[in-house]
Copies of this chain bind each other. A is one copy, B any other.
């Protein structure tokens, strides 16, 4: 798998390692990363995105301890077989739920009409 599967925003306030872990969680839940599939090496990811290899390594380590990844001798990291891989739409929806709740809270603080928000999100989802 190519290092470009991960999107990194080094300037974002969200820590880089968490950007990686969160993306892995979603991509694996959706099956975009299939069980057993090899991940790009720490070196590749770090080089491609110009970030510190230690940061990538840490992210992989956290993903492993979360059961998302497994270390295979000689092959590096692969997507773990287990309860996390390729989940139902209902389970995947739950991963998005906290973010949606926050969206709703902010929209209400901004007193934005629901349909304005929904229309905009629909447009963004259409891309």
Interface residues of A (CB under 8 A from B): 7, 10, 16, 23, 26-27, 29-32, 52, 62, 65, 73-74, 89, 92-93, 95-97, 99-114, 116-118, 120-122, 124-127
Contacts and interface: CB of A to CB of B under 8 A. Distances in A.
A81 to B, nearest CB: 12
B120 A121 contact: no
A112 B127 contact: no
A106 B26 contact: yes
8 contacts: A7-B105, A26-B106, A30-B109, A30-B110, A32-B109, A92-B111, A95-B106, A117-B121
A51 to B, nearest CB: 9
Contacts of A95: 106, 110
B121 A103 contact: yes
A56 to B, nearest CB: 14
Contacts of A93: 110, 112, 116-117, 120
Contacts of A92: 110-112
Contact of A96 (B30, B73, B110, B126): B110
B114 A107 contact: no
